Amino acid sequence: MPFKVLIANRGEIALRAIRACKELNISTVSVYSEGDKDLKHLKFSDETVCIGPASPLESYLNTPAILSAAELTQVDAIYPGYGFLAEDSNFAEMCEKSGFKFIGPSPETIKSMGDKITAKTLAENSGIQIVPGYKEDIPDDEEEFKAIAKKIGYPIMIKATAGGGGRGMRVVKSEEDLISSAEITMQEAKIAFGNEKIYLEKFIANPRHIEIQVVGDGKGHAIHLGTRDCSMQRRHQKIIEEAPAQNIDESSLNQTYEACINLCKKIKYEGAGTIEFLYEDGQFYFIEMNTRIQVEHPVTEMITGFDIVKAQLRIALGLDIKLDQNSIKFFGHAVECRINAEDPETFQPSPGKITKMHIPGGFGIRYDSHIYGGYIVPPYYDSLLAKIITLANTRNSAIKRMISALDEFFIEGIKTNHPLHQKLMHDDTFVNNEHTINYLETEFLKNDS
Ligand code: ADP
C-alpha cells in the first residue's frame, strides 16, 4: 500500500509537495478553498477536497475542516508547507491525536521554538551565539529596568516573546523612551498574541540576514545544508535569496554550524528547519528557528542537489534516508527572485487575471510557480506568484543568468515586482554583495523614487 499525504496548503508550495510525492510514489490529497478552484496543483493531485470559503480563517486555517478531509480520504500524513498552520503546535498536536502524522517536528519542538525566550535559551545552551540582551522578567522598579537597558547599551530592541511575522518589536533609541515603549509593546503583544511578556535585545544596526538550513531525522542525527543570504528585504519580507552566503568569517561559520547541529541533535529535531541569524562584523547572532520548509529552500537544493521536501516526506513516513554530512557536496551559487503580485513602486497587492505570460527556461534555470495564462490571482492570500532560481559556477554568473531569465519572463494583466528585480540585478551594491537588511528600504527605494 502506498502512503497517502494530505497537502494542507496552496499555491507554489502545494505544487512543490505534489511533485515530491509523485517521485516517491505517494498518493496525494489536496484541500482547497472556494476561492481556489482553479489552482494548478489540483489537476495533478490524486484527490481533492474543498474545505470551505475563500477566507483563510475558514479554510486553510480551519483545523476541523482539514482534519475532516484527512479522515474522509484516510491519509497517513499531513504536509503543512509554510505559512498557515505550519508552525502551529496545536495543529500538529491535533493531527497526531487524530491519527495522522504531522510532517514536521514534534508539537513540543514547534512550541518551544515559537516562544522566543525559550528558543533563545535552547540555542544558547547548545553553544549558539545569541543577541546580547535580557530575557528574565522585567522588574517593576523603573530605575532597575533602566539600569538593565543601560547595561545592554542603546539602541535596544524590545520584543514580545510570543511575537512573530515581524510584529511585536520596537526599537528604543534612548532611555527617555524606554518605559513608554515597553508599555506599548506589552499592550500590543497582549492583544495580538494573548501574551504580554517582553524581553530586551541589543539592536543590531546594520546586519546581513544569514540562515542555516538543517535537517534532522528525529532520532538524534542531523546535518546542515549550508547558508543562505536573505538580506534583500522590505519590511522583513525577503525578496531575493541566495546560497551560499558569501564573505562570511570561516571560523565563526564553522563554530555556528557545529552549534546548530548540536541543537538539532539535542532536541532530536525532526524534518527540515532553518536557524536564522543576524550577521555583523564577523559575528552570528541567533534570532529564531523556523520549524518548517521555507520559501527560499530551492537555492539550497540547487547548490547541494539535496531534495529537502523529499527528505521531509521520507523522514516523516519512516522511509529510508541517511543523513550523512560528508555526502553533502556544495556546488556553485544560486539566486532566487520572488515574483509577487504587487505594484513595483507602491507595493500594493495587485490581484486579478493574468492575461498572458511567458516563463523563462534554459541551462541552470529553475522556475517554481502555480500560475498560468488565464489564471485569476485571488485577493485573499499572500502575493507570491513565482520563484525564479538560477544556478551557476559563480555568484556573478548566477546574477547574469538571472538577468537573462528575467528578460525572458513576462506577465500581463496584473502588476508584479518583476521590474524591481530587473533593477536590483543591475544594482552595484547588490552585485558587489554589499547590501545589508536595511539597504532596500533605506537606500535603494529612496534613491529610486
Ligand atoms: P519574527 O519572528 O517576527 O520574524 P525575528 O526575531 O525573526 O522576528 O526578527 C525579524 C527581523 O527583525 C529580523 O530579520 C531583523 O530584520 C529584525 N531584528 C530582529 N531582532 C533584531 C535586533 N536585535 N537588532 C536588529 N534587528 C533585529
Q: Which three cell numbers stand for residue 291?
A: 520549524
Active-site position among 16, 228, 292, 338: 292
Q: Which three cell numbers stand for residue 300?
A: 539550497
209 CA: nearest ligand 1 atom:
14
Distance CA 394, CA 305 (A): 16
Distance (Å) from CA 204 to ligand 1 centroid: 9
Q: What is the mean pLDDT of residues 374-383?
A: 97
292 annotated active-site = yes
**Both 299 and 414 in a single domain?**
yes
**Both 240 and 335 in a single domain?**
yes
413 within domain boundaries: yes
Mutation choice for ligand 1 from 134, 198, 236, CB with most ligand atoms inside 8 A: 236
127 within domain boundaries: no
**165-179, 354-368, 371-385: the lowest-pLDDT one:** 165-179
Please confirm whether the linkage preceding 244 is cis (ω < 30° from 0).
yes
Question: Residue 380: which pLDDT band, with cuts at 50, 70 and 90?
Answer: very high
Instruction: Say what the pLDDT of residue 1 is.
Output: 65
**Both 212 and 94 in a single domain?**
no
Question: Residue 447: which pLDDT band, with cuts at 50, 70 and 90?
Answer: confident
24 within domain boundaries: yes
Each residue's pLDDT tens digit, 38-89: 999 999 999 999 999 999 999 999 999 999 999 999 999 999 999 999 999 9
**Both 360 and 395 in a single domain?**
yes
Distance CA 184, CA 320 (A): 51
157 CA: nearest ligand 1 atom:
23
**Both 379 and 417 in a single domain?**
yes
Backbone CA torsion sign across 358, 9, 104, 198: positive
Q: Which three cell numbers stand for residue 124?
A: 544558547
Mutation choice for ligand 1 from 128, 169, 206, 440, CB with most ligand atoms inside 8 A: 169
- Residue after which a domain boundary falls, among 102, 119, 146: 102
CATH code of the domain containing 353: 3.30.470.20
CATH code of the domain containing 175: 3.30.1490.20
DSSP reduced 3-state for 290: strand
CA 95, chain centre distance (Å): 22
118 within domain boundaries: no
121 within domain boundaries: no
**Both 283 and 342 in a single domain?**
yes
Please confirm whether the linkage preceding 56 is cis (ω < 30° from 0).
no
218 within domain boundaries: yes
Query: By alpha-carbon position, which residue is closest to atom 2 of ligand 1?
Result: 164
Say what the pTM is.
0.95
**Both 279 and 353 in a single domain?**
yes
Distance (Å) from CA 260 to ligand 1 centroid: 19
**Both 388 and 265 in a single domain?**
yes
Cβ contacts of residue 147 below 8 Å, gap of 6+? none
Nearest to 228 by CA among 301, 172, 315: 301
Distance (Å) from CA 208 to ligand 1 centroid: 11
- Higher model confidence: residue 228 or residue 165? 228
131 CA: nearest ligand 1 atom:
23
108 within domain boundaries: no
Helices (H) and strands (E) in the chain, counts: 15, 21
Ligand 1: which residues within 6 Å by Cβ? 131, 157, 163-167, 169, 201, 203-204, 209, 236, 276, 278, 287-288, 437
**Percent of the chain predicted with pLDDT > 90:** 95
Question: Residue 393: which pLDDT band, with cuts at 50, 70 and 90?
Answer: very high
pLDDT at residue 433 tops 90: yes
Mutation choice for ligand 1 from 206, 241, 274, 287, CB with most ligand atoms inside 8 A: 287
DSSP β-bridge partners for residue 387: 338, 368
Q: What is the mean pLDDT of residues 5-17?
A: 98
- Residue after which a domain boundary falls, among 202, 222, 237: 202
Instruction: Say what the pLDDT of residue 413 is.
Output: 98
Each residue's pLDDT tens digit, 275-325: 999 999 999 999 999 999 999 999 999 999 999 999 999 999 999 899 999
Distance CA 154, CA 168 (A): 19
DSSP β-bridge partners for residue 369: 386
Distance (Å) from CA 411 to ligand 1 centroid: 33
437 CA: nearest ligand 1 atom:
16
CATH code of the domain containing 77: 3.40.50.20
**Both 51 and 145 in a single domain?**
no
Query: By alpha-carbon position, which residue is closest to atom 23 of ligand 1?
Result: 203
How many domains does one find in the chain?
Answer: 3
233 CA: nearest ligand 1 atom:
16
Q: Which residue has the cell 541589543?
A: 202
**Both 324 and 354 in a single domain?**
yes
Distance CA 35, CA 20 (A): 25
Each residue's pLDDT tens digit, 121-162: 999 999 999 999 999 999 999 999 999 999 999 999 999 998
Nearest to 365 by CA among 391, 386, 338, 335: 391
Instruction: Say what the pLDDT of residue 320 is.
Output: 86
Distance (Å) from CA 287 to ligand 1 centroid: 6
**Both 360 and 239 in a single domain?**
yes
- Please give the mean pLDDT across all residues of the chain: 96
Instruction: Say what the pLDDT of residue 2 is.
Output: 86
Instruction: Say what the pLDDT of residue 132 is.
Output: 95
Question: Residue 166: which pLDDT band, with cuts at 50, 70 and 90?
Answer: confident
pLDDT at residue 164 tops 90: no
**Percent of the chain predicted with pLDDT > 70:** 99
Q: Exposed e or buried b for every residue in 314-330, given b needs 16+ CB within 10 A?
A: bbbbeeebebeeeebee
- Residue after which a domain boundary falls, among 147, 173, 202: 202
**Both 175 and 288 in a single domain?**
no
Q: What does DSSP assign to residue 13?
A: H
Query: By alpha-carbon position, which residue is closest to atom 14 of ligand 1?
Result: 236
The three state secondary structure string of 328-395 is CCCCCEEEEEEEECECCCCCCECCEECCEEECCCCCCEEEEECCCCCCEECCCCCCEEEEEEEEECCH
Mutation choice for ligand 1 from 110, 131, 156, 278, CB with most ligand atoms inside 8 A: 278
Structural domain that includes position 69:
4-102
285 CA: nearest ligand 1 atom:
23
